[in-house]
Structure formats: C-alpha cells, structure tokens
Amino acid sequence: MAVIQIGSFAIMIKWLILAIGLVIGLIVLKIWLRRTQQVEVNKRLFDILLNSLFIGFFAWKGSLILLEPQLILKSPISLLYFTGGTKGLLLAIIVSVFYFVYKSIKATITKPIIIQSLLIFGLTTVTGFQVISYFILEDYALYHLFIAVITLFLLILIIVRQGIQTIKGVLLMYKNVIIILGLLGLIVWVVYDSKFSNVVAEKNIEENVEINNERVEYGIQEGNKAIDFELTSIDGRAVKLSDMEGKKVILNFWATWCPPCKAEMPHMQDFYEEQQGKDVEIIAVNLTTAEKNKNDVEPFVKDYGLTFPILLDSEGDIGSTYQAFTIPTSYVIDTKGIIRKKIIGPMDKEMMYKLVESVD
C-alpha cells in the first residue's frame, strides 16, 4: 500500500513514516543532549535543529519550482498541494544541514558536538524510518531491515565511542560490530527467505484463483471488478472502460471549477506523456452535471493541453456510481480490471508512478 487516505488528502505512506522517524530522532537527540551537554548548549542546539527542520520543510515544498518549473507555470496552485517529492527532499536535507551547521558554529558550539548531534539525529531518523517501513511497507522488506540494522549499530557506535580512549579499543569495537552485522545479515536473509517468499507465493496463488474462477464481485471497492460504463469523449468518440483491460488504468473524476483538480491536471498530463506505449491509460471523467457552465470543459482542456481521454458524464450516473462526491477522486485499476486503490484528493506525478508500479 503506497498511499494512505486522511480525509480528503491522499498522502504517500513513506512521508508519514518519515515524519515519525523525525520525531524519534528529535526525542533521542534531546535525551542525549540532556545527558552529555550543559543546559545552555542543549537548549541552543535543539532550537537550531527545530528551525532547521522548518526551513527544510519549506525548502521541500518550494523545490517544486526548481524541479518542475513548467508545472508551476501551468498551475501555480500546485505549490499548495504538492512537494518536490524524493528529489526535493534531498535538496531540503542539504539546505537544513547547511543551516544547522552555520547557525551552530555562529552560536559558538564546538564542531565535534555539531557533527555528533547531526549523526545521532540522522541515524536515529533513518533507523526509525527503516524499522517502521519493514513492518508496514510490503516491498523491499529485506532492504529496510538490513539498513535498519546497519544504521542502528552505527548509532550505537557513535554514542558509546565517547567512553573508548585508545585506538586499539576503537578498532576492536569496529571488528565486533562487523562480525555482529554479518551474523545479523545472515539471520535476516534466512527469516526473509522463509517468511516473505511464502507470503508472496500464497498471495499470487490466491489472486489467480479468484480471477480464474471469476469469483471477483463487481463494485467500486478495492478488490472489486470495476463497474463497466460507456461515455462519449470530448471529441465525440464512444469510450468503454472494459476496452482498457490489459492496461493499467487511472480513472479520474474531476470538474473545471475544482482547485485541486487544476493543480493535479499538469502532473497527470506529464505522467501520461511519459507513459506512452507502456500499457498505462488515463481516463478523466468530467462531472458535467456539476459544472456551472458545460461549455467551460473544452476551453479548460485546451488551456491545460490535455491529450488523455476526457469523457463527459452528461447524466451524472457514472460519477454517482463511483461515488465521486469529493473531487478529484481517482481509482487505480490493474490489467485485469480490478480496482486496487481509491484516492480522494489530488495526486502528483511521483504518486501516480508509485501507484501504477504497485499494481500488475
């Protein structure tokens, strides 16, 4: 599951996990500072870190201007709904670290404490992120567990190194850590191979049995066969949903007056252009009966340069059937016509890629 629904917002799960990891990092660093530093240094350093995180967040949001300038020109409102994604996060980390180091030096905090604080906070955040990802995210479980083990031991290494005064002691500790990491890596591999390979195999068999025996019910819930319909496109063609079987489909419901729809459309168009020839289709159903003026649809499509199929729900039946009460509403449908995910709220291009990659 790549996305979680919170009210009318669709959020990628990895960002929620990252937020939890950051909180864990703050807690661990605060405890370490209290035990090892004077009260004044503790307070100044922690305040600087909090400011760094706020600046990093705004840098993450604003990075969309640098990474996707054309999208911002087409739809400036995208800045309100979206971030710079994974690439923007890397830029935000650089900005945050630079600010943290600069302000800490200016506050006359010693460089060893600055570096150690950064490492403790960073490694704790990564460890928390990877551990939670191991239990929640289905993909790359072994990878998440392995990285968690490595970062945890590096974290312990940094914290306990203060009590080791000799080079021989440090080398011995590194040697022991490497041995333990090797043993844990072997254990992780055995556990993963025996547990998750069986789960994946059982899941695939179960899905194949359901589809081959035609036990899948028609409906609009995840796991249902998508209810078929036929609508007329904006250029007068009759388009049927069932004709798209064999392709992954994003079925989107929208209207011209909807601000998040306006923010989403440039991302959807870019995604559509990049997916040409890859058995991925977008069907955007305009809720025509909800439009203030039905004649607004065609100019909207031209202004945004939309080339994917735009269907007109002139009677309002399809929007009602698919319960598109809050828009935009999207359904991700696999190649067998099964609904795999319902998204309420706008999606950016990165989210679309993750959702499409998560279905067969």
Q: Beta-carbon neighbour count of residue 265 at 10 Å?
A: 28
Whether the bond into 259 is cis, omega within 30 of 0: no
pLDDT for 138? 67
Phi, psi torsion values for 254, nearest 5 degrees: -155, 175
Helix (H) or strand (E) holding 253: strand 248-254
Q: Of the candidates 22, 37, 39, 186, which has an alpha carbon nearest to the alpha carbon of residue 96?
A: 22
Q: How confident is the model at residue 8 (pLDDT cuts 50, 70, 90)?
A: low
Sequence-distant (6+) residues with CB within 8 A of 131 are 144, 148
Q: Is 285 exposed, middle or buried (0-12, 13-18, 19+ CB in 10 A)?
A: buried
Rounded percentage of the chain residues whose pLDDT exceeds 90: 58
| Structural contact between residues 33 and 114, judged by C-beta atoms closer than 8 angstroms | no
Provide DSSP, 262-295: HHHHHHHHHHHHHTTTTTEEEEEEE-GGG-S-GG
Residue with tokens 């670290």: 97
* 204 has pLDDT over 80: no
* 215 has pLDDT over 80: no
Q: Domains plus CATH for the chain?
A: 3-163 (no CATH), 225-357 (3.40.30.10)
Average pLDDT, the chain: 85
How large is the angle between the packed helices 13-36 and 39-67, nearest 10 degrees?
A: 160
Question: Rounded to whole angstroms, how far apart are CA atoms 48 and 126?
Answer: 20
pLDDT tens digit sequence for 90-108: 999 999 999 999 999 999 9
Question: Rounded to whole angstroms, how far apart are CA atoms 121 and 28?
Answer: 7
State the pTM of this model.
0.74
Residue 100 pairs in a beta bridge with none
pLDDT tens digit sequence for 343-357: 998 999 999 999 999
Provide DSSP, 138-189: -TTHHHHHHHHHHHHHHHHHHHHGGG--SHHHHHHHHHHHHHHHHHHHHHHH
| Structural contact between residues 42 and 142, judged by C-beta atoms closer than 8 angstroms | no
